[in-house]
């Protein structure tokens, strides 16, 4: 009587697992950059929203306030190119740049330009 010996050998299974491990090692870093850019986009949108809220508060209440924006980014520096800037009116300085953070909160407030009376963003 013949024995039916269907199946894979241990060497074949190890080879398949090894090939899959190499493919996964190649693919995982490719997902890192788009994911970080999406986190940065969330931070940028939240900072802009907080800036407009702070400006609105200053216009309505006549006082300066600060809003905390939690950080979503995980890597130093900006993956987004060019780095984000806040564009604001009423000043001669042009767009305002701010540094990327990897933990904590961004603190968004405004300073009043004594010469023009315009509001200058302050993100720290």
User: pLDDT tens-digit profile of 14-55?
Assistant: 999 999 999 988 888 777 778 888 888 899 999 989 988 998
- Number of structural domains in the chain: 1
In a domain, 3, yes or no: no
In a domain, 5, yes or no: no
Averaged pLDDT, 7-19 = 91
> Do residues 82 and 124 lie in contact, with contact meaning Cβ atoms separated by under 8 Å?
no
CA 25 to each of CA 22, 34, 52, 79: distance values in angstroms, whole numbers, following the listed order: 5, 17, 42, 21
> Residue 53 is part of which domain span?
10-123
pTM above 0.85, yes or no: no
In a domain, 4, yes or no: no
């Amino acid at each position: 009587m013949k024995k039916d010996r269907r199946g894979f050998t241990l060497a074949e299974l190890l080879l398949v697992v090894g090939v899959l491990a190499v493919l996964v090692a190649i693919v995982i870093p490719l997902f890192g950059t788009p994911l970080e850019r999406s986190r940065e986009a969330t931070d940028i949108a939240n900072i802009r929203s907080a800036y407009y809220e702070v400006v609105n508060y200053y216009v309505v209440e006549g006082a300066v306030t600060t809003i905390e924006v939690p950080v979503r980014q995980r890597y130093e520096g900006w993956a987004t190119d060019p780095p984000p800037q806040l564009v604001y009116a009423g000043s001669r300085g042009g767009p305002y740049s701010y540094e990327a953070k990897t933990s904590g909160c961004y603190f968004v407030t405004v300073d009043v330009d004594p010469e023009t009376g315009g509001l200058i963003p302050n993100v720290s």
